[in-house]
Homo-oligomer: A and B are copies of this chain.
Amino acid sequence: MASVLRTLSAADDPANAPAPDGATFADASRSLLRRTLLEAARDLAADRPWRSVTMAAIAGRAGVSRQTVYNEFGSRPRLTEALVLHETEEFLTAVGDAIRRHPADPSEALSAALGVFLQAASEDALVAAVIREDGRDDLLPLVTSEGRPILEHGTGRLAVMMRETWPVLRGPEADFLAGTVMRLGLSYVVLPVADAERDATARGIADLVRPYVESLLARDGG
């Protein structure tokens, strides 16, 4: 009976529930903090070697105390990893957009996606920093010898994009194709092609995988 007597506060009304898209302020604020810090780190890394970008500088640039950086990331290596993952995520978003623009033509989609990726990589300040600082910085290992997290994370995201765009694709096939594309992408990050060769490279890779992709799609898509 206590529940009946209890004052009905406004918060109990289901009409006062959070927005359907889950855009509550608390969530958004937390992801905003991470994003602000990672963008501050990326901006600073554009100028000087990553090694010389201090935690204090990142905090200052983001308008936040140094302690907050440690609360959010724990340590410098973990921030570094998050930074590279964040940058990867931005590339994947651009690539995903390019793929979705060509739902009916997988070869064209792959060519466009690779073109977008190569273009973005050639202009990215953090990518430039990675390949500028040969091995003394702790950035390069993250996309090479220690690059498995990126590879697997990116492969997973790419595979999902591909299966969403081309539902005929089976899981293992999408994983393999996505993994191959990711490995090629990472390779072109570390060893870029000249600007003039970029389009030809994108088209070449697309030509290379076209028969494979089309054989998969023709299986029961025809």
A contacts, CB < 8 Å to B:
10-11, 13, 15-19, 23-29, 32-33, 36-37, 39-40, 43, 54, 56-57, 59-64, 66
- Given contacts A29-B32, A32-B32, A43-B19, whether A24 and B56 have CB atoms under 8 Å apart is no
For the complex of A and B, the 3 pairs showing the least CB-CB separation, nearest first, are A24-B63, A16-B60, A10-B56
Partner of A24, one of B15, B25, B28, B64: B64
A25: chain B residues at CB < 8 Å are: 32-33, 36-37, 62-64
CB distance from A137 to the nearest CB of B (A): 18
- Given contacts A28-B36, A32-B28, A36-B24, whether A66 and B19 have CB atoms under 8 Å apart is no
Q: Which chain B residue lies CB-closest to A29? A: B29
Q: How far apart sit A60 and B10, CA to CA, in the bound complex (Å)?
A: 9
A26: chain B residues at CB < 8 Å are: 63-64
Partner of A19, one of B13, B16, B40: B40
Q: How far apart sit A63 and B114, CA to CA, in the bound complex (Å)?
A: 40
A60: chain B residues at CB < 8 Å are: 10-11, 13, 15-18
Partner of A63, one of B15, B27, B33, B43: B27
